[in-house]
Amino acid sequence: MGVDDVPFDDVPNVIGNYDICIVKSMWLDANVISHATRMKLIMQYGVGLEGVDINTATKHGIKVARIPSGASGNAASCAEMVIYLMLGVLPSLTQNGMNDDLVDDKGFHEDIHTFASNADVVICCLLMNSETLGLCSSACPTGNRLSHTLPGVLCGVRWVMREYYRGGALLVNIARGGLLDCEAILYHLKSGHLGGLGMDVAWTEPFDPEDPILKFPNVLITPHVAAVTGHAVRSTAKVVGNVALQLHAGSPLTGIEFVN
């Protein structure tokens, strides 16, 4: 069993020699996948699968999988980053005279509007199901879409910020940069309606240091490292190694989540 780390430009020419592809940051589009004649599994080195054309892989009989965030330590690492980013942008609250207590409140998706209108900091964790997507879609009757995987989320976030975020509230995003509209963020930062922004992901990566959003003193960004902790990296590598051995032995694949 051989393992190779191949430059992006060479992947289409050699991918046909492999049974498994571990994706890090390259976009595996229809053209690349069409050359994967031996491929049995495309596996993300982590949770996100935005860089894999799942429909094309399915048509070619290739399974696509990711590593569940709970098992790899990804979720815990990202939760820590949320706290760090919150602490980083919280000084803007004290400068504005906002010294209220921190409240940990939980609820369902229909409670988001109430939370957002009464809080200075809102951390919103939504399961992407028909109900939450319906909530976001109803906020955007024009039918605009961010992508085929997250319909309605972009316009939903923009709408919630405009209609329900209290002036001066903070926004923390460690999920995906594309969930936020950069023009809307810039507008609300300029107007002061958005009191601060902390993010580990951006709409373009690597992040442009000359982006006007980064010039605001109440904006804090980290370079997509929320899940890059020692524990998470070791756990992810172990899952990848186990799956490769299982595939080689013809055993059932464990520790991963199939998406097709």
How do the pLDDT tens digits run along the chain, 260 residues long? 667 787 888 899 999 999 999 988 788 999 999 999 999 999 988 887 778 999 999 999 999 999 888 777 777 888 888 888 888 887 655 555 555 555 555 555 555 566 556 655 555 555 544 444 444 444 433 333 222 233 333 444 444 455 545 567 778 888 777 777 788 888 888 988 888 888 888 888 888 889 999 999 989 999 888 888 888 888 889 999 999 999 999 999 999 999 99
Q: What CATH number has the domain spanning 8-71+229-258?
A: 3.40.50.720
Domain ranges of the chain: 8-71+229-258, 74-221
Claim: this prediction has a pTM higher than 0.75: no
Homologous superfamily, domain 74-221? NAD(P)-binding Rossmann-like Domain (3.40.50.720)
Q: Do domains 8-71+229-258 and 74-221 have the same CATH topology?
A: yes
Distance CA 117, CA 176 (A): 24
